Amino acid sequence: MKLSSRQAFWYAAFLLIFTAIAAYTVANKTWWFPPLASVQGGEIDNLFMITLVITGIVFIAVHIVLAYFVWRYRGQADRKAAYVTHNTPFEISAAATVAVALVILVGGGTTLWTKIQSPPPADAFTVEVWAEQFRWTFHYPGADGRMGNVDVRFISDDNPYGLDPNDPYAKDDIFATEMHVPYGKPIAVILRSKDVLHSFFLPHFRMKMDVVPGMKTRMWFTPTQAGVFEIPCAELCGVGHYIMRGVLTVESPEQFNEWISQQTPVGMSQ
């Protein structure tokens, strides 16, 4: 199909306008991340920016070249296509450029992923999280400071989160509908599901982990500020998925101790 000059002009103009709008919305941070609130999130954001700059330069360059070619090689009478078999210097330099970019991106990503997936520090504060259609429940140790064992085989109407009835540490455990953590130390999270796949997402902390029935998954992160943060479920888990939203409060150790002292241990509520 031959493009008339007018068609070629508008086609090229559309490409340039589209590229300019895309570049502007990204550079202007029109739709961007929520404010950062974790140490690990800072490293993730840095890697994201490196990736964005490399791919952004390629994206803009490719579209400018494409627009130019659409205009330059529009339909013209009596013009034949050029026949180019190969161009060794160009092919080597193009392959080398792509290889260097991929080594930077994959190397940076693998290194950071390995670090973030490493076991949590020994002084981390641990919370166990139960996901179910369509809410989050947070499991804390009681006054003895140790969380009781949990197993899905113990789940019943009277024991909705499967505490081990024979475990003395389980007697004073606490199940809360909100997540609170003390500020100033790493937070480790152990994730369990009662029913289907869910995903525990902390957008301000740049953390997300699938919650898989039948297994424990984990994450850990270090908050950099106190505050109240949203916990959306990031896996379509049923008709009520959209209301599956929890709240994470990061607060001073004193405020946290006061909050936890107001929660009712399971042993007393039964």
Our finding on whether 198 is near Cu ion (CB under 5 A) is yes
Q: What's the rounded Cα separation, in Å, for the pair 41 and 149?
A: 31
| Minimum CB distance to Cu ion smaller for 8 or for 131 | 131
Q: What's the rounded Cα separation, in Å, for the pair 99 and 113?
A: 20
| Minimum CB distance to Cu ion smaller for 136 or for 183 | 136
| Minimum CB distance to Cu ion smaller for 27 or for 236 | 236
Min dist CB 237 to Cu ion, Å, is 3
Would you list the DSSP string of 177-190?
SSEEEETTS-EEEE
Would you list the DSSP string of 225-241?
S-EEEEEEB-S--STTG
| Minimum CB distance to Cu ion smaller for 168 or for 240 | 240
CB 176 within 8 A of CB 147: no
Q: Identify which range of 10-18, 147-155, 190-198, 224-232 contacts Cu ion by CB under 5 A.
A: 190-198
Min dist CB 245 to Cu ion, Å, is 10
Min dist CB 215 to Cu ion, Å, is 16
Window 204 to 263, contacts with Cu ion (CB under 5 A): 233, 237, 244
Q: What's the rounded Cα separation, in Å, for the pair 41 and 222?
A: 9
Residue 137: what residue type?
Answer: T
Cα 55 vs. chain centroid, distance in angstroms? 20
Residues near Cu ion (CB under 5 A), total:
4
Q: Give the binding site for Cu ion (CB under 5 A).
A: 198, 233, 237, 244
